[in-house]
Structure 1
Amino acid sequence: MRKILVIGIGAGDPDHLTLQAVKAITSADVFFILDKGQEKADLVALRRHILALHAGQRPYRLVDARDPNRDRTAPTPGYAPAVGDWRRRRADVCERLIRDELSEGECGAFLVWGDPALYDSTIGILEDILARGEVSFDFEVVPGVSSVSALAARHRTGLNQVGRPVRITTGRRLSEEGFPEDADDVVVMLDAHRTYLRFRDEDLHIYWGAYVGTPDEILVSGRLPEVADEISAVRAEARDRKGWIMDTYLLRRKPKQG
């Protein structure tokens, strides 16, 4: 039986890897790397650096494939179909890699940015491949340090206030639903449209970070009305300089009294 490891490698710092992740890396025969193109070449370079640090002397193979492009401009009604189409095409690529590049009895691995259980498609794609019935394998998931936990640590804050819930959502959902009534702390991921600007006149505190855990890390925090423009300016400059940006932020309001 082929075996697949889905290994969370943290938010960017090679030291984010858990001992379990390092152990998993040293047991893999093949590492599958999905290349997102020249614009995000440093993401591939980081994975190669992690392998150089942690794979040890055991021989292994690297297999690269181009990650299919996804339509990120689809409006809300077409968002789910666009993601579904991208996942199908990505499953096609991963199925081919597992079938053609991994022999029976070998162990292959996908190095997943952050934590595989949080806004990542790898687990779902492997389940889709198994459901097709064309190739069989067993898979195991190794948790990683998410950008959410790394963001809170770098800002030296918790994700929730005493006895209060925290919600983790996307920029798209926050834009559609507004700030939730049942949570005072909202972590926002995958926000390409600076949704925090919608709340710039409210009494909220923001903890914002981009490229958290990498040498390019940027952190800004403060009352949202006072730092919203600074975040937008810093974000725009960083995106222009690198060609892409990954940012996460926590919006916090004081709990209602009574």
Structure 2
Amino acid sequence: MITLQLIGIGTGNPAHLTGEAVAALNAADLILVPRKENAPDLADLRRSICAAVLTRPVSIAEFDMPVRAGEDYIQAVHDWHDAIAAAWTAAFHAHLPCGGTAALLVWGDPSLYDSTLRIAARLAGAAVRVVPGITSIQALTAAHAIPLNPLAGAVTITTGRMVRSHGWPPGADTLVVMLDGGCAFQTLDPQGIRIWWGAYLGMEQQALDHGPLAEAGPRIVAARPALRARHGWIMDVYLLRKEPL
């Protein structure tokens, strides 16, 4: 029997791991570390987190992360998830042939706009345990010292793809936009909208900007490629709020 622990690691700062997450990593028999050809620093970051919190030797197995391919987005994602599940299974067979506990470090929290739980559901006979982490939303609002919601207002959590396709959701006062590599806020009428943006939240290279969307938006669009070039990768999130009329 394999038990897979999905451990939320926040935005990559070892100080953001909960005590439960640290205990789970130290109790594991194996830690899985995915390697991405276009973002090798992310594997390095996972290794540094392990080095910072492990108090006993734990085997670490690295695997090459499959690449999503295909024009049909939904089918491509399903095929991609199947390939990732197969890579995990191969690692279990190679390193835990008699069973045991494996751990996978997940950015943010495994429940929020992350497919790790859907991939884990493809593992036949494996038990899955989730250790929640600090989400990028918590890190963003903390970095800017703002509340998530306006007084008695609604919050919608969505993706850049949805904003680009459908615009501002009806009835929402505040949008939190995740998984947006193309600055989808550019498709919105900026009049009366403010933005709070953050990249590498909680880390030494943290970058923040905020203000009226018409003013801060172009700065963010210019900053993202420069930050990616400097660090080799970027993870960011932003909050949009309509100002009272």
Q: TM-score range by the shorter chain?
A: over 0.9
- Please give the residue correspondences for 1:196-235 in structure 2 after superposition, counting only pairs within 5 Å: 196-235=185-224
TM-score, normalised relative to structure 2? 0.94
The answer for the alignment partner of 2:49 in structure 1 is 50
Distance 2:76 2:121 in 1: 19
Instruction: Summarize the Cα distance change of 1:20–1:224 in structure 2 as closer, same or farther, 3 Å threshold.
Output: same
**Number of aligned residues:** 245
Distance 2:2 2:84 in 1: 20
2:74 aligned with 1:80: yes
- Please give the residue correspondences for 1:66-215 in structure 2 after superposition, counting only pairs within 5 Å: 66-71=64-69, 74=71, 78-130=72-124, 136-215=125-204
- Check conservation: 1:184, 1:255, Cα contact below 8 A: no
Distance 1:59 1:215 in 2: 27
Distance 1:88 1:106 in 2: 22
Q: Which amino acid aligns with 1:214?
A: M
Distance 1:172 1:47 in 2: 27
Q: Which amino acid aligns with 2:202?
A: G
- Check conservation: 1:200, 1:228, Cα contact below 8 A: no
Distance 2:2 2:219 in 1: 50
Distance 1:101 1:121 in 2: 24
Instruction: Summarize the Cα distance change of 1:165–1:122 in structure 2 as closer, same or farther, 3 Å threshold.
Output: same
TM-score, normalised relative to structure 1? 0.90
Shift of 1:89: 1.0
Q: Which amino acid aligns with 2:137?
A: V
- Check conservation: 1:188, 1:249, Cα contact below 8 A: yes
Structure 1 consecutive aligned stretches of length 4 or more whose deviation exceeds 6 Å: none
Instruction: Summarize the Cα distance change of 1:178–1:95 in structure 2 as closer, same or farther, 3 Å threshold.
Output: same
Distance 1:13 1:158 in 2: 22
Q: Choose the corresponding residue for 1:60, options 58, 61, 64.
A: 58
Q: Which amino acid aligns with 1:163?
A: A
* Unaligned residue ranges in structure 2 (runs of 5+): none
Alignment RMSD: 1.6
Q: Which amino acid aligns with 2:156?
A: R
2:21 aligned with 1:25: no
SS of residue matched to 1:128: coil
String of CA shifts for 1:104-132, please: whole Å, max 9, x gaps: 352111011111111222211111122xx
